[in-house]
Chains A and B, each alone.
Chain A
Amino acid sequence: MTPSAQFLEVDNVSLYFGGNAALCDVNFHVEQGEILAIIGPNGAGKTSMLNCISGFYRPQKGRILYKQRDLTKTSTHQIASLGIARTFQNIALYTGLSTLDNLMAARHIHMQQNSLHSMLYWGRAQREEVTHRTYVEEIIDFLEIAHIRKAIVGALSYGLRKRVELGRALALEPELLLLDEPMAGMNVEEKEDMARFILDIHERRGTTIVLIEHDMGLVMDISDRVVVLDFGQKIAAGTPDEVRNDDKVIQAYLGQA
């Protein structure tokens, strides 16, 4: 295993809230171009793990290496420009903006105009707006949200907001996409739609995807590998089939036999 082969490496990460260990010496890696699912019972530390990768939490111990760069030492707002985007378990959209502007807001890191250009909105700044608008419109087409393009997202339904949030993450042009329960609270049809979008993103853009999901059937269907957390510790990792038959995993989910 050469170091350069690792796309994302979580190395002995521990995270404490006071005396509570949310994550305890967690190790795993993500290979470029795969779909990795993180599963585990409630309170296992899945979202904490994602928060550590996206820079929202700082683990007290350990390193998270993304393309050889330690994310635990990178300031939060710089992580997006490294090519990491995420969605949130409880949707965190800009509620006062339209769908279109939410996606345009995510183009922030790709835009060249400085504040002075913005104020004058002349020539280059305007051309840049159009260029990025074109890019954003492609995402809108892809996610089939053209009909709500100019609707304020605060007024949209839950399923649509989830989709807009995925669109906003895509507008960052991520190489690594972190999805925190993208299908929570959806009906079967919406889940299938979302799964199709995730697979399409993966195939068309070659985006590496790390997702947290509770729907086991779906996880086993779409992911290449699965990491199982329980009480902040990694208890298993491997292909869906390996994990499905792992004793520890069965124990964690079903309790002691």
Chain B
Amino acid sequence: MAVLRPAGDFDTSYEQDMSVIRKRWQWVALLLFLAALFALPAYAPEPAVSLVNRIGIAIIAVQGLNILTGYTGQISLGQAAFMTVGAYISALLVGQAGWSFFLALPVAGLGAGLVGLLFGLPSLRVKGFYLVMATLSAQFIIPWLTRNTFPNLLNGAQGMNVPVPVIKLPVIANTCFLGTTFDPETAVCLYRFATPNEFIYITLVVLIISTVVALNISRSRLGRAFISVRDNDLAAELLGVNLFAYKLRAFFIAAVYAGVAGAMLAHNLRHVNSQTVGLIDSILFMGMLVVGGLGSNLGPIFGATLVTLLEELATVLTPILITLMPDIAGGATAALRPLIFGLALMLFLIFEPRGLAYRWTLIKAAWRLRPYAR
């Protein structure tokens, strides 16, 4: 869709034309929005902040899936399995080896990325439905491995407790800076990301980085190569794109995103086992992507937000339903979450298969054309 602009609003350089945020007021709006998010613990109740944490982690996982499925067109149901890998790596590194969480987080991402590469190998040979089956195997193999291998290290099906992420700062001039508190035991300044109100800062910072990286991928050489693989793999190869290399790159990046999201989830929940995330989450991420819009940078943000809010709605509705209709309480109300998710997914597939992101561009276009657009 061509971009509609008011008369006389021209770009005078290619940099300007290619920039994502073109106007000063857009920068101001973005910064205000981010400031409002960072200030969230100051005015929002803790359950709401906790919800934002969950949404943020889901967004990161879906952003990875968007690069793989939305841009490169390789459908994968392994995203939650790669989250498990990231979660375990970080749990081991921080919990057992005593690493800092902020060092373990990128390592967890890279580790999950390598596992993702392994499960991306079939993409050279198989496409579509068959690739789904191949990636699905990750969803069974990886949780099984965590349950049944290295019982002393991974503690089998019970899983592990994961420590709280902490920042350690040296004591400068007998005072602790940046909101840290003095810890008499180790004689350093500590900041513990224990509650949602503290963890939110990790979520937001990682989310900003992951969004910027995803955005940069989509507008540069790498992203165009991904999209050419999706839109016409034969033409892409004849135009010099090494199909296999780029499919693997997409799998790697998607799994890195998943690994980071998984590590964050583990430290947020403070516990990880093979059930922390599972097949249902992989399907949920795919659903979020469809609802938000495949192959759009806003898609994961819209989709993960809406679907997580709908799930939350289900949890709110369930006790009400039980009070209203005690006879069907139990079985039917327990099914409310998947029911709402399924309904939302179905309605989107029928009425807006291009997702909320496309709807958003329509709304923006209509706003620019007001009062003439309906």
Residue positions of A touching B, CB distance < 8 A: 54-56, 76-81, 85-86, 88, 92-97, 101, 104-109, 111, 113, 115, 117-121, 125-126, 129-130, 133-134, 137, 150-152, 168, 172
- Is A105 in contact with B220, judged by CB distance below 8 angstroms? no
- Is A94 in contact with B237, judged by CB distance below 8 angstroms? no
- Is B235 in contact with A80, judged by CB distance below 8 angstroms? no
Q: Could you tell me the distance between the alpha carbons of A192 and B350 in the complex, rounded to whole angstroms?
A: 44
Q: What's the minimum C-beta distance from A34 to chain B, rounded to whole angstroms? A: 22
Binding site secondary structure of chain A = helix
Nearest B residue (CB) for A151: B2
Please name all residues of chain B whose beta carbon is closer than 8 Å to the beta carbon of A107 when the two chains form the complex: 221
- Is B227 in contact with A105, judged by CB distance below 8 angstroms? yes
- Is A119 in contact with B216, judged by CB distance below 8 angstroms? yes
- Is B18 in contact with A119, judged by CB distance below 8 angstroms? no
Q: Is B351 in the interface zone, CB < 8 Å from A?
A: no
Q: Is B344 in the interface zone, CB < 8 Å from A?
A: no
Q: Is B217 in the interface zone, CB < 8 Å from A?
A: yes
- Is B241 in contact with A108, judged by CB distance below 8 angstroms? yes
Q: Could you tell me the distance between the alpha carbons of A65 and B39 in the complex, rounded to whole angstroms?
A: 66
Q: Is B222 in the interface zone, CB < 8 Å from A?
A: yes
Q: Could you tell me the distance between the alpha carbons of A80 and B228 in the complex, rounded to whole angstroms?
A: 15
Nearest B residue (CB) for A101: B224
- Is A94 in contact with B231, judged by CB distance below 8 angstroms? yes
- Is A108 in contact with B235, judged by CB distance below 8 angstroms? no
Nearest A residue (CB) for B13: A130
Q: Could you tell me the distance between the alpha carbons of A101 and B1 in the complex, rounded to whole angstroms?
A: 13
- Is A119 in contact with B222, judged by CB distance below 8 angstroms? yes
Q: Is B328 in the interface zone, CB < 8 Å from A?
A: no
Nearest B residue (CB) for A95: B231
Show 5 residue pairs from A and B whose CB-CB distance is below 8 angstroms, ordered by the A residue.
A80-B240, A117-B221, A121-B216, A125-B220, A168-B239
Given contacts A93-B232, A97-B227, contact A121 B239 (CB under 8 A): no
Please name all residues of chain B whose beta carbon is closer than 8 Å to the beta carbon of A126 when the two chains form the complex: 15
Q: Could you tell me the distance between the alpha carbons of A15 and B239 in the complex, rounded to whole angstroms?
A: 23
- Is A56 in contact with B221, judged by CB distance below 8 angstroms? no
Taken residue by residue from 55 to 95, chain B's Cβ proximity to chain A (1 for < 8 Å, 0 otherwise) reads as 00000000000000000000000000000000000000000
Q: Could you tell me the distance between the alpha carbons of A113 and B240 in the complex, rounded to whole angstroms?
A: 15
- Is A106 in contact with B239, judged by CB distance below 8 angstroms? yes
- Is A150 in contact with B3, judged by CB distance below 8 angstroms? yes
Q: What's the minimum C-beta distance from A117 to chain B, rounded to whole angstroms? A: 8
Nearest A residue (CB) for B215: A121
Q: Most chain-B Cβ atoms within 10 A of its Cβ — which of A88, A93, A108, A111? A: A108
- Is A92 in contact with B234, judged by CB distance below 8 angstroms? yes
Please name all residues of chain B whose beta carbon is closer than 8 Å to the beta carbon of A130 when the two chains form the complex: 14-15, 18
Out of A77, A134, A152, name the residue touching B1 (CB < 8 Å): A152
- Is B242 in contact with A105, judged by CB distance below 8 angstroms? no
Out of B18, B228, B230, name the residue touching A129 (CB < 8 Å): B18
Q: What's the minimum C-beta distance from B129 to chain A, rounded to whole angstroms? A: 21
- Is A118 in contact with B222, judged by CB distance below 8 angstroms? yes
Please name all residues of chain B whose beta carbon is closer than 8 Å to the beta carbon of A120 when the two chains form the complex: 213, 216
Q: Most chain-B Cβ atoms within 10 A of its Cβ — which of A76, A93, A134? A: A76
- Is A94 in contact with B217, judged by CB distance below 8 angstroms? no
Please name all residues of chain B whose beta carbon is closer than 8 Å to the beta carbon of A79 when the two chains form the complex: 238, 240
- Is A118 in contact with B14, judged by CB distance below 8 angstroms? no
In chain B, positions 229-280 with a C-beta closer than 8 Å to chain A are: 230-232, 234-243, 249
Q: What's the minimum C-beta distance from B229 to chain A, rounded to whole angstroms? A: 9
Q: What's the minimum C-beta distance from B16 to chain A, rounded to whole angstroms? A: 10
- Is B222 in contact with A109, judged by CB distance below 8 angstroms? no
